[in-house]
Amino acid sequence: MMFPSKAFLSILFVMLSSADASPLRSDARKATLSFAARVNARGAVNVAAADRARVQAMKQAGSMGKRAGKSSFSITNAVVTYTAQVGIGSPATEYTLIIDTGSSNTWVGANTPYNPTATSVDTGNTVDVSYGSGSFFGEEYTDTVYLSNTLVITGQSIGVASSSQGFSGVDGILGVGPADLTESTVSNVDIVSTVTDNLYSQGVIDTEALGIYFVPPDASDSAGELTFGGHDSSKITSPVTYVPLTTTSPASSYWGIDQSISYGGSTILSETAGIVDTGTTLVLIASDAFSTYQTATGAVMDEATGLLTITSGQYDKLQSLTFKIGGKTYDLTPNAQIWPRSLNADIGGSSSNIYLIVADIGSDSGSGLDFVNGYAFLQRHYSVFDTTNNQVGFANTPHTDDKSN
């Protein structure tokens, strides 16, 4: 049976606990997958450039339509990544897989070889996926997958890499994005059912929804969780409010929503389409909105990190950044707008500097993907990705107003 890993090579370590609530029904079945979050230590890292490259590739893939196939985006260069220990086969071999809401193929073999067992079936199909700076090619198998003792999937499509590039220290990816992103990735197959799809279709969970709870890295409570089939009501301080997925392309190819953003009560980005993405570290906004934000805060650009930096005096005057999503507003307080100072060195920054987590997406508003609510937003607000009802939900948490950064 599957079991949580006892150790991860990471700078920022977060083990996740169990949950017992659903976004739609209090008696629904649900379960939690333990995982670790880490900030990749690579010396001087231009964190904004890494995020920008990811979103630009996502835009390109999304604009090509749902059959983007081999034109995907970079996961391997992400500054913050999330890994789970996943068992495959019977008896199960354990693999370290990146959890990603922006891709949907699940595959192994980048480091630990795939070990076929009695539950493994070679379909004869090939799998070929590119992630910008990384890629893999191999065969498709179906097999039993153990996400945890209570999250067991039979007949899950698994890519088995015969060759891969760019995946150091991990074995592959656990894709939890929209299933349409798998189109044209597996020969002789239209759309591949994701792990979330199969958990739902096999009756393991009652709602095809994924709840994610992150916390600021320097918070006194370092626990977080990822829940299949619902959300954990004990981790939120407000009701979960849902909004429909956007219909605007290319944001509509991912977990896309419509929102507006204001700073200090003044709108800097009118309502437009963008995405919610665990694989993006920062909050990225359209270039025109970014320019307005930089002027309002008085920040200057730090070329080493790619982030805006402010003085202590400017920090004292920093105002809230407000996201209006549907009829609800969600604030990033002044403390939530700064990079955790204890992690400055991990992005090539100075320990004495104050860096902002808002960055330029690289194009003006009106592109169809004008913002990304990344990890910096999600560590302050609970998120629910609901496939059953084509919606995304948010709620405040005990860490929404933290001053730990």
Asked if residue 167 lies in contact with residue 77, where contact means CB atoms within 8 angstroms, the answer is: no
Q: How far apart are CA 156 and CA 121, in angstroms?
A: 10
- Which member of 277, 331, 360, 386 is catalytic? 277
pLDDT digits (tens, 9 = 90+) for 225-265: 778 998 989 899 999 999 999 999 999 999 999 999 999 99
Asked if residue 254 lies in contact with residue 72, where contact means CB atoms within 8 angstroms, the answer is: no
Closest CA to 23 of 176, 177, 209: 209
Is 100 considered catalytic here? yes
| DSSP line for 293-316 | HHHHHT-EEETTTTEEEE-HHHHH
Q: What local confidence, expressed as pLDDT, does residue 85 receive?
A: 86
CATH class of 31-209: mainly beta
Paired with 330 in beta bridges are: 323
Q: Superfamily assignment of 236-396 in CATH? A: Acid Proteases (2.40.70.10)
Q: Which residue has the higher pLDDT, 165 or 397?
A: 397
- Which member of 100, 171, 302, 402 is catalytic? 100
Q: What local confidence, expressed as pLDDT, does residue 76 receive?
A: 44
Where are the domain boundaries for CATH 2.40.70.10 in the chain?
31-209, 236-396
Asked if residue 256 lies in contact with residue 246, where contact means CB atoms within 8 angstroms, the answer is: yes
Q: How far apart are CA 293 and CA 314, in angstroms?
A: 13
Is 277 considered catalytic here? yes
pLDDT of residue 30 exceeding 90: no
Q: What local confidence, expressed as pLDDT, does residue 236 receive?
A: 95
Average pLDDT taken over every residue of the chain: 84
Q: How far apart are CA 230 and CA 223, in angstroms?
A: 18
Q: What local confidence, expressed as pLDDT, does residue 80 receive?
A: 59
pLDDT of residue 297 exceeding 80: yes
Residue 383: pLDDT band by 50, 70, 90 thresholds? very high
Sign of the CA dihedral 140, 145, 147, 150?
positive
Q: How far apart are CA 208 and CA 405, in angstroms?
A: 34
Any residues with CB less than 8 A from the CB of 83 and at least 6 apart, and which?
A: 8, 35, 36, 38, 96, 97, 98, 99, 170
Q: How far apart are CA 167 and CA 155, in angstroms?
A: 25
pTM recorded for the entire structure: 0.84
Residue 36: pLDDT band by 50, 70, 90 thresholds? low
Q: How far apart are CA 85 and CA 57, in angstroms?
A: 28
pLDDT digits (tens, 9 = 90+) for 50-73: 888 888 888 887 766 543 333 333
Highest averaged pLDDT of the listed ranges 17-21, 342-346, 392-396, 399-403 = 392-396
pLDDT of residue 38 exceeding 80: no
